Chains A and B, each alone.
Chain A
Amino acid sequence: MSLNSNIPSGPMATKWSKHKQDSKLINPKNKRKFTVLVVGSGLAGSSAAATLSELGYKVKCFCFQDSARRAHSIAAQGGINAAKNYQNDGDSVHRLFYDTVKGGDFRAREANVHRLAEVSVNIIDQCVAQGVPFAREYGGMLANRSFGGAQVSRTFYARGQTGQQLLLGAYSALNKEIAGGGVQMFPRTEMLDLVTVDGHAKGIVTRDLVTGKIESHAGDAVLLCTGGYGNVFYLSTNAMGCNVTATWRAHRKGAFFANPCYTQIHPTCIPVSGDYQSKLTLMSESLRNDGRVWVPKNAADCGKNPDQIPEDARDYYLERKYPSFGNLAPRDISSRAAKEACDDGRGVGPGGRGVYLDFAEAIGQFGAKTIAERYGNLFDMYERITGESAYKRPMRIYPAVHYTMGGLWVDYNLMSNLPGLHVLGEANFSDHGANRLGASALMQGLADGYFVIPTTIANYLVNQKPGSITTEHPEFKKAVENCTAQTKRFLNIKGKRSVDSFHRELGLLVWDKCGMARTKEGLTEALNRIPALREEFWQNVNVPGSGDFTNPELEKAGRVADFMEFAELLCLDARHREESCGGHFRSEYQYPDGEAKRDDENFSYAAAWEYTGNFSQPTLNKEPLTFEEVHLAVRSYK
């Protein structure tokens, strides 16, 4: 099948304004007749739901958490990029665009990225108007900080909790619309399946997580704003509830899944301490502004107290390898460098999987008070988890799964190949290519929700007869029956192993074979083992309780069942992409100095996988990536 990305013609800088001109309009009276289903209430979901309601559409918004405010966007710490150039340091829309395309290792769609850079400036205006308390200077102007992968200071922040503040802003807009009656909110409600009618997405099946009731909802369009699939690795920085179910179920109904192998490993997380561990905690990348990353030069020094390792016995490996970006080298590069150091036997801490992030020099230069102002809450968090003070000894950090660049394939209108199904934020594949730069996820979520979808959704809806499909349609009945049957099936297995034990086993396997470095052999092995594990899951999982009441184990079982299927596609995509780019590093494809070796001739495309009914044989559709503005080059941060 050929993929039409619907990229507007004309010069890059005017594509979005041209597209806005060319986009269809729906008159205010008619907008009220359309119902839009928004799944997820993170930055993308809340902002889209609120803005569509402001425009006059009827919106139903769903989230599995007990409140829209708890979606995992809340946990983003560092900041949000915008090409405001308030610092007068040479930033511009073009430079943000360029940095993002390069940061994505030339695997993103240029036109989408340019649009993202353009609307980034509006996001800041919008958030400030909502009362988001960004950091400011004494004169009252907004403050900025620098972030990985950029040489300008374009990141806006609110202490170490920018995500929470932006989400609370979007949530407040959502509340305003709920109060006004434009949005109906369904908390503690999980999407179980997508309903398609004649190939169009027209509804969803949900489970009320309190009463257990399985219901369906019909709409004229469906927006999936359901985040990423990082929890396929079991241990990640994602929230415990983050899952692939919505996008995976849509995939099984025909939506293409693009580039699942682009997974981001964040370099600054707290290392694993034991096998009981349920999640990994991220320390904001902003720490790298003042912290210096090092390991001992000599493996024999690893067990020593860091104070006793003299300056000349330390290897500040990022500064050594990447003199111009130093400790601010992009995430994929920093992560891999940490892995190499630990593989070399020079890792520190329990199990030797850790490197130091040292603030001694910054504390000496600026004083502990200034450092506490900048990172106090992060230092506190580190101490709570590890029992160590980062003011006194260097933090220990190690990379962990953090974000997934892959997702459902969408066109320029953010619509998937299934008409009516729109995908926003981390759930889609479009803007970050093979690697996402810091402070870009918040930007994308809000860009999609506040500024892109409100314009582009009309291009689909204008040709639809509002309310023409209701939940009386046989497809809805069928989908509800399927979901009910799946619930019964889980409860009837009554096997020996808990859902978590399967999830942990799957995660370890995927992390081992499809984590920071991947090989053909390893991936093939994973691909052999995943179906067997999936088989065992369906034979031997133990889901206690009943389906008609609150049952967290049942919720987890549904999510893990989908991860079991999705993991196979993840590894298939990783095996097929015989190059290294961004978060996808294939050990076979590297330069002698260990840098990732891209193959632009053969792999300069987005891999959009089509479900065929057989998990091990999906069909590959390719969207070629062309670069008009940014010239393909080896991505160097040296």
Chain B
Amino acid sequence: MSAVFDSLSRFYASSIGKKILVALTGLVLIGFVLGHMIGNLLIFVGRDAINEYGHLLQTALHGGGVWIARIGLLTAVVIHIVATISLTRANRAARLAQYGKHKAQVSSKSSRTMIWSGLTILAFIVYHLLHFTVHAGNDYGTYKTTLDGHTVHDVYRMVIAGFSWAPASIFYIIAMLLLSSHLSHGFSSLFQTLGVATDKSEPLFKKLGYAFAGLILVGNCSIPIAILFFHYGR
């Protein structure tokens, strides 16, 4: 056991080991982001659709499912963040004196600002959880409705109410812009780190990454925009 632990801690201590963890957790988070968006888009299907979806998440595995998912996601997020911060600190330490003149030739702005887009997204996640999960400073938790004879949380009303407040919607939209920037590099990058990119597949991964980032941006922003600007559901 300790031999395995030693090897794993060496793996984590190494640059490539950490990067592989970042890539794997990134993959998990990409999956989550996609699922989360599809679920949220149910709001356009109608009140019952999204409320049923919310209820399903809450009651799966007798209410354990959501906790398993939360713990899993939390682990992924923590590893993703702790490892990248550690990598970034090492990266900063690797060049103490800066260039008088430095010119990037091929890297994208998104790729050079991953840590900032990432940290902003982290701040957003905290806000998002407080906003819609913990219901801090609001009474969204008390919104109830009836679905097939059961009393369930009225997610639909919560979302409409949440995004009717302009500052929240705008922060969401900004966060989504940064998330798509983060994804535009992160998506294709993970295939490189996991050692599966090839000369032929790399351009495809790149395009998929841009497409995915765009999809998430359009999909997620459509909700606050529809509510705030087009008064959807209000």
In the complex, are there CB atoms of A and B closer than 8 Å? no
User: Interface of B with A (CB < 8 Å)?
Assistant: none
User: Which residues of A are interface residues toward B (Cβ below 8 A)?
Assistant: none
